[in-house]
Amino acid sequence: MKIIVPRLVDVDNINAQNLSARSLLSSFTRENCKWHCACYGKPDPAVSANPTVTVTRLAPWRAWPWHLALFYQQSADAIFYPGLEWYDRIGLQWRDRTRRSIPIIATLEGLVGGSEREEQLSRIAGHPVYCHRVSQQTSDTVDYVLQRADHIIAISPFLAKAARALYGDKCSVLPLGVDLAMYTPGSRPKSDQTKKVVSVGNVRRHKRPEVFLDLAQRFSDAQFCWIGDGDRRSELIAAAAQRGLQNLRFPGRLTHAQKAEELRTADVFVMPSHSEGVPKVTQEAAASGIPCIVFGYYEPPSVIDGQNGYLVWSDGELEQRLGELLENPGLCADMGGRGRDMARAWDWSVVAPLWEHALVKIIEGFAGARTAKHAMGRLK
C-alpha cells in the first residue's frame, strides 16, 4: 500500500501541521505501508530513518511549490494529509482532470472563515464560535480541499461536529500526540515567592497577545513569558516598556528544548485566543504538569474545566481564574498532576498506532468499495 503524504518534513519547518506529519511518519511501523513525503532542505532525521518512509527532495527556490503539485500526481493508493495552499489545490485538481482520482484523507485542525460561518457554527455549537480570519483565496482553498476529501479526520469532537455540518458525514476523530520524553514536570518544587505564567503562539492579532500585557500589569508579583515570533512582537515589547512592565518577556521563537524548559519551570499556562483547533501546546503544558486556562469557544478536549485547568468565556473570567491559581499553589499542583495523567494517553507511542491503524482501515474500505463497484459493473 503506497500513500502520498504531501507535507514538508524539513527539520527546521515549524508549521504545526508539518510537525504533526513528521511525528506520525517517524512513528509508523507497518511494513506493508509505504509513505511518500517531501522536503525542501534537510529532512527530519527521525522521518528519513524510518524504512517505511520515502522522502523526495523538492526543486529549489520558487520552483518547489510546482514540484509539490507534481508530487501529487504519482501512482498511489491514497493521499493522506493534503496541505491547504494553492499548490495543494492545483495538485488535487490535476489528478481529477486526468481522471486519476484516488481516496483523499484530509485533517481538520482548526476553523477558518468570516462572520457568516461563525454565525452558522455558533448555532450548531450553542455558544459563540470564532474562526481564524484568512484571505478569501485561502478560505476557498481550505473549503475545496475538505469538500473534495473522501474522508476527514478531525482532531477533536467539536471539530468533527463542525466538519459534518460544513462538509458532510465523512468524518472521524483522532487526537494528536505529544512527546512525553521532551515535556516533563520539573524535578524541583516551584518557588512560593515568584510565580511564572507562560503562553506560546505566534505574536499575531488573532492570538490576542495584548491580553498578556493587561495580565502582567494586574499580577505584578508574577513573571510572564510569551514564547513565539510574529508581526506584533516588536510592537508589544515597546508597549510593555512604555507601561513599565518589568515582569513580562517576549523572547521570540525558542527551540523545542528551550520551550520545554520554560513550561517545566512555569506555574500556569494561559492562552488568550478565541479561535483554535486543539492547541498542541495545551497538551505539552499538561504533560509538563502545569494547569491551563483557555477559552471554551473551541471546546478543547485537552483541558477539562476544573480538572487540569479552566475553560473561560471572558477576559474577566480569565483574570479571575489566573488569580485563583496564582494564590493557591496546592490547587496548581493538583491540576498539574491530573494534566500529566491525562497526557499519558497522548504520547506519540500511543497515538501514532491509532492513526496508522485507522488510515489503513479507511484506505482498505475504499479499495473494497471500488472492487465491489467494478464487480457490479461487470455483472450488468
Q: Which tens digits make up the pLDDT trace of 3-22?
A: 999 999 999 998 889 999 99
Whether 374 shows a pLDDT value over 70: the answer reads no
Residues 59 and 70 in one domain: yes
Domain membership flag for residue 183: no
Given a contact cutoff of 8 angstroms between Cβ atoms, the answer to whether 312 and 292 are in contact is no
Residues 354 and 340 in one domain: no
Domain membership flag for residue 228: yes
Residues 172 and 320 in one domain: no
User: In this predicted structure, which of 96-105, 181-190, 248-257, 365-374 has the lowest mean pLDDT?
Assistant: 365-374
Cα–Cα distance measured from residue 151 to residue 103, given in angstroms and rounded to the nearest whole number: 8
Domain membership flag for residue 77: yes
Residues 141 and 221 in one domain: no
Residues 288 and 371 in one domain: no
Q: Which residue has the higher pLDDT, 101 or 153?
A: 153
Residues 333 and 202 in one domain: yes
Q: H-type helices in the chain, by residue range?
A: 16-27, 45-48, 64-71, 86-97, 115-125, 136-148, 157-167, 210-218, 233-242, 256-264, 280-287, 315-327, 329-343, 348-379
Whether 367 shows a pLDDT value over 90: the answer reads no
Residues 104 and 142 in one domain: yes
Give 186-217 pLDDT, tens digit per residue. 876 665 678 999 999 999 999 999 999 999 99
Neighbours of 29 (CB within 10 A): 11
Please give the share of the chain, as a percent, with pLDDT higher than 90. 91
Domain membership flag for residue 184: no
Whether 171 shows a pLDDT value over 80: the answer reads yes
Q: Work out the pLDDT band at 240, boundaries 50, 70, 90.
A: very high
**pLDDT value of residue 286:** 97
Domain membership flag for residue 189: no
The count of structural domains within the chain is: 2
CATH number of the domain encompassing residue 305: 3.40.50.2000
Q: Name the nearest CA neighbour of 228 among 254, 267, 190.
A: 254
Query: Could you identify the residue written with the cell 508530487?
Result: 71
Residues 14 and 155 in one domain: yes
Residues 121 and 80 in one domain: yes
Residues 123 and 230 in one domain: no
> In terms of residue numbers, what domain contains 16?
2-177+348-379
Cα–Cα distance measured from residue 152 to residue 150, given in angstroms and rounded to the nearest whole number: 7
Q: Work out the pLDDT band at 368, boundaries 50, 70, 90.
A: confident
The alpha-carbon radius of gyration of the chain (Å, integer) is 22
Residues 15 and 126 in one domain: yes
Whether 52 shows a pLDDT value over 90: the answer reads yes
Domain membership flag for residue 60: yes
Cα–Cα distance measured from residue 179 to residue 201, given in angstroms and rounded to the nearest whole number: 18
Given a contact cutoff of 8 angstroms between Cβ atoms, the answer to whether 268 and 195 are in contact is yes
Residues 341 and 353 in one domain: no
Whether 227 shows a pLDDT value over 90: the answer reads yes
Domain membership flag for residue 160: yes
Answer positive or negative: Cα dihedral of 180, 110, 75, 137: negative
Domain membership flag for residue 93: yes
